[in-house]
Chains A and B, each alone.
Chain A
Amino acid sequence: MDYDAQLKLQAYLDGELPEAEAREVANWLAQDREAIALFAELRNTRQALVGLEVGVTLPESREFFWSKIEREIRRQEQLGPPARSVPFFSAWRRWLVPAGAVAAAALAVLVGLSGGSGVSLVETAVADPAAFTYHDFSTGTTLVWFSYPADDELADNTPAATVQ
């Protein structure tokens, strides 16, 4: 019996096979003594573990265990939430982006005042007042600046323990 067949036998035991494959394995199990023996071993091992955690109790009284938890909760609350470090580039960009938007707006005004034949327009979107858009219709150019941090700066670092 090859290794893939052995793993398939196990998947059958665990109910992980699709119906058609499960039927194939059931037929195979009816004929192959080696498969029957291995299947029985896997099943016995699985059965032996049933209820192993039942009856395991924390060897500390309710009051004592809770007092430790409560103390730790209070201690951590006094410390406050951990400060999130902002990478140098991100902090720099936070200032650069609005400054760039202001510079672009000034540039657009200057271009307009200097009597350029093209029409240009700087605007902020109603839906997102933190986004600045610059249109230069003569060259068909549109630039958009966002004055807030990128998504990767806001990514939640919550560990996998929050899985529900």
Chain B
Amino acid sequence: MSDKDHSSTDDPTLVRAAQRGNMAAFEELVARHRDKIYARAVSMMRNEEEAIDLSQEAWVKAWQRLKQFQGEASFGTWMTRIVINLCLDQLRKQKRQRTESIEEMNEESGGVERQMPVVTVNPTAGLERRELRQRIDQALNQLSYEHRTVLVLHQFEEMEYKQIAKTMGCSIGTVMSRLFYARRKLAALLADLKKSGER
């Protein structure tokens, strides 16, 4: 494979070329998947600068470990797992550096979500996509990283409970509780944002 114009080459061919040390092929893979990798990092970190740094780190790691990629999953899936793990490591480090808030402790012990009233009106109905994104971003920012991560892994990575538990190093029961809390809290926050938007 030549070093130029890989735009019409499929991912598996590019991966094989990159595994043989072809950096131009790897650059094409970066160009194809960089937005998705970055978007996943943004969803998890809620910070653009950190998301850029972590997605860059993920690509460097991918190059170093490319020989380990056997093609069992798609290259895109393999890459997103790398960035997810890097984000999780970073979030855990950040958590260790700060004291848990009382709210977080409540979230972890569970139960708060059971008392939340059910949001009967869909708080996102009729919203423009941009406005909806803005509100959801605001709401996601208010969740702890554990709750947000479970939501991201389930919703965007389409992982089953079992896979999420393995990735996060917790039980399936904890995944279910966190996902339930995250959804209920998100619904409540979106309902609040809707009310404040109507005022």
Instruction: Answer whether residue B35 sits at the interface, using C-beta atoms and an 8 A cutoff.
Output: yes
A45-77 vs B, CB cutoff 8 Å, 1 = contact: the mask equals 111111111001111101001101110110010
Chain B residues numbered 58-100 whose CB sits less than 8 Å from any CB in chain A: 59-61, 63-65, 68-70, 72-73, 77-78, 81-82, 85-86, 89
- In the complex, are the beta carbons of B180 and A14 less than 8 A apart? no
- In the complex, are the beta carbons of A45 and B56 less than 8 A apart? no
User: With A48-B190, A161-B82, A161-B86 known to touch, is A58 a contact of B183 (CB < 8 Å)?
Assistant: no
A130-164 vs B, CB cutoff 8 Å, 1 = contact: the mask equals 00000000000000000000000000001111111
What DSSP secondary structure best describes chain A's contact surface?
A: helix
How far is A72 from B81 in the complex, measured between Cα atoms in Å? 20
Instruction: Answer whether residue A21 sits at the interface, using C-beta atoms and an 8 A cutoff.
Output: no
Closest to A59 in B: B48
- In the complex, are the beta carbons of B124 and A69 less than 8 A apart? no
- Which residues of chain B are near A163, meaning CB under 8 Å? 81, 85, 167
How far is A99 from B16 in the complex, measured between Cα atoms in Å? 46
User: With A14-B154, A58-B55, A69-B56 known to touch, is A161 a contact of B38 (CB < 8 Å)?
Assistant: no
Instruction: Answer whether residue B17 sits at the interface, using C-beta atoms and an 8 A cutoff.
Output: no
Instruction: Answer whether residue A27 sits at the interface, using C-beta atoms and an 8 A cutoff.
Output: no
- In the complex, are the beta carbons of A3 and B38 less than 8 A apart? no
- Which residues of chain B are near A58, meaning CB under 8 Å? 34-35, 38, 52, 55
- Which residues of chain A are near B73, meaning CB under 8 Å? 164
Instruction: Answer whether residue B25 sits at the interface, using C-beta atoms and an 8 A cutoff.
Output: no
- Which residues of chain A are near B187, meaning CB under 8 Å? 41-42, 44-45
How far is A57 from B27 in the complex, measured between Cα atoms in Å? 17
- Which residues of chain B are near A62, meaning CB under 8 Å? 31, 34
- Which residues of chain B are near A40, meaning CB under 8 Å? 120, 122
Given contacts A3-B111, A45-B187, A57-B35, 20 further A-B contacts (CB under 8 A): A34-B118, A41-B119, A41-B183, A42-B180, A42-B187, A45-B184, A45-B186, A47-B124, A49-B136, A52-B136, A57-B39, A58-B34, A58-B38, A60-B52, A76-B64, A159-B85, A160-B167, A161-B86, A162-B82, A164-B69
14 A–B contacts, CB within 8 A, in A order: A37-B120, A41-B119, A41-B184, A46-B155, A46-B183, A49-B156, A53-B36, A56-B35, A56-B39, A58-B35, A73-B64, A161-B65, A161-B85, A162-B65
